[in-house]
Amino acid sequence: MTEKILILDFGSQYTQLIARRVRELHTYCEIVPYNKVPALDDTIKGIILSGSPFSVKEPDALRLDLNELVGKKPLLGICYGAQLLTDFYGGVVQRSDKREYGKAHLSNVRYQDPFLHGVPDGSQVWMSHGDSIMELPPQFELLASTESIPVAVFRSKKGAFANPVYGIQFHPEVTHSVDGRNILRNFVYDICGCSGEWTPAHFVEETVEGLRRKIGRERVLMGLSGGVDSTVAAELLHKAIGDQLICFFIDNGLLRKNEFEEVLKSYESMGLNVVGIDAKQRFWDALAGESSPEKKRKIIGREFIHVFEEEAQKLEGIEWLGQGTIYPDVIESVSVHGPSVTIKSHHNVGGLPDVLKLKIVEPLRMLFKDEVREVGKELGIPMEILGRHPFPGPGLGVRILGDITPEKVALLQEADHIFISKLKKYGLYDKVWQAGAILLPVQSVGVMGDERTYERTAVLRAVNSVDGMTAEWSRLPHDFLADVSSEIVNNVKGINRVVFDISNKPPSTIEWE
Ligand code: XMP
């Protein structure tokens, strides 16, 4: 069984980042809400208590009985976690209304301690806390201070508990803490004794074995979107159970130009047992005359479920539904704060499990997006799939403002195709996070040759982002934009004007609908 570090989440915005840093050390790491501690079996090598927006001095602060944890495994409290340890064992945490936010420098570093090996005096650390630890309980000793706080790092005295306990006031997981990675490495490898065995290859091997055991001789059905997550999930399943996996790839009439054919070909070349379903007309009929963004989304979602269900009924003996769910979705839904408002209401396959009454299998449930890509590389999935920009489930349906017709789809496909092809040609495709064209429901006057035109406008949208939650418009070079604009206007009959979207998210969104 894979060894792991457990993070108890007290709701800090940095908790996911801690997990990522630990995983970068090739050590599997799982986040659980602070009050849902699982049985501490042998696979758990150490425990981290996260930060929190709360103060331990508040009456309704998040607490737990640390006697249940301390001594059982090596433990590290970060920020709130460190204050909780101090408070629990009778030290002094001072309440403050002011936050210390920003850079500080360690002083009096006890670098003989394995936890701080390689960390010099003066090392820059990143602080973000209100309360401060002023006095340690008798079981603990000081390992470092900073210019502004007496207790920046501490540990339990030798022999105080069966396993060592460490506490740090700063955030080792953010890159501004110059030796943060070092400190986490010391904790994970030297204090917890992890061996760094968790690599993409290891993940693939273990997951494939697990899937085989779980699914046995049964059959799995899975909808593919052409995106990274569903493709990687399908390939893992395929490796585990071969042709017991059946995939659907539905053409909803709202895909990019040639996308259906090209993606289907990639899937076939990967050896997937995939059924391409042409449902274009059905989606267009259902959408006819509808202009409301929310209603269009609902119609597209509903039709997707109907098509999927109808096709699924043609198959016999399906027991499982495969899904490309990834870790951020899972954490969101079990977070300390409860399901967060940031969960996208537009989850593409929402509703399918209920309708189909199948068991769910989600091979990527425990991976972050960048880890999914690494696993994809390990599986040999073609770069044209792994490197693709995100594309919304409702596709061009949310990029054609107003009502949707097959003619408008064709028009937008052409403009979008020119934009994306040129991004690739200029070497810009991999530099932007997501790009696409949008078709506006307004016409404006233009002149072409001697003729007056009265045609539509295409918007070019390109953004840089990490996870799509916030985004900045991409500073594409003017010469490039000029080239795209004239190519579109000269070649796409029906569009006589091209504009570039210079809005960030927030307050705008990436998609226009
Ligand atoms: P917004 O427009 O909310 O988009 O800023 C954020 C990211 O989510 C994608 N998006 C969707 N993805 N189904 C999806 O699978 C949808 O309905 C949907 N709507 C937006 C969007 O493309 C961007 O990457």
Where among 191, 220, 235 does a domain terminate? Answer: 191
**Residue nearest (by alpha carbon) to ligand 1 atom 7:** 468
CATH number of the domain within which 300 lies:
3.40.50.620
Would residue 396 count as lying in a domain? Answer: no
288 and 422 share a domain? no
pLDDT (tens digit, 9 = 90+) per residue, 165-204?
A: 999 999 999 989 999 999 999 999 999 999 999 999 999 9
173 and 291 share a domain? no
Give the number of other CB atoms < 10 A from CB of residue 194.
Answer: 23
Would residue 398 count as lying in a domain? Answer: no
Strand ranges of the sheet holding 219-224, from the earlier edge strand across to the other edge: 274-278, 245-251, 219-224, 318-322, 359-361
pLDDT (tens digit, 9 = 90+) per residue, 242-296?
A: 999 999 999 999 999 999 999 999 999 999 999 999 999 999 999 999 999 999 9
On whether the CB atoms of residues 411 and 498 are closer than 8 A, the answer is no
> Who has greater pLDDT, 352 or 341?
352
Please provide the size of the chain in residues.
513
pLDDT at 43: 97
CA 421 – ligand 1 centroid, Å: 22
On whether the CB atoms of residues 174 and 180 are closer than 8 A, the answer is yes
Where would I find the beta strands (DSSP E) of 176-260? 219-224, 245-251
Would residue 397 count as lying in a domain? Answer: no
**Residue nearest (by alpha carbon) to ligand 1 atom 22:** 392
3-state secondary structure (DSSP) of residue 274: strand
pLDDT at 333: 65
pLDDT at 334 over 70: no
pLDDT (tens digit, 9 = 90+) per residue, 384-414?
A: 899 999 999 999 999 999 999 999 999 999 9
Where among 169, 191, 213 does a domain terminate? Answer: 191
Would residue 41 count as lying in a domain? Answer: yes
Among candidate residues 56, 61, 65, 60, the one with its CA nearest the CA of residue 83 = 56
**Taking all residues of the chain, what is their mean pLDDT, rounded to a whole number?**
93
Q: How many domains does the structure of the chain reveal? A: 3
Q: Is 468 in the pocket of ligand 1 (CB under 6 A)?
A: yes
CA distances in angstroms from 130 to 101, 127, 170, 223, 336, listed in the order given: 8, 10, 11, 47, 20
Mutate to test the pocket of ligand 1, among 341, 511, 512, 513 (most ligand atoms within 8 A of CB): 511
Would residue 184 count as lying in a domain? Answer: yes
Expressed as residue numbers, the domain containing 470 is: 405-500
CATH number of the domain within which 418 lies:
3.30.300.10
pLDDT at 271: 96
Cα torsion 34, 373, 386, 307: sign:
negative
pLDDT at 344: 38
CA angle, 151 then 155 then 158, to 5°: 140
pLDDT at 354: 75
Where among 167, 191, 215 does a domain terminate? Answer: 191
Would residue 511 count as lying in a domain? Answer: no
pTM here? 0.85
Give the number of other CB atoms < 10 A from CB of residue 492.
Answer: 23
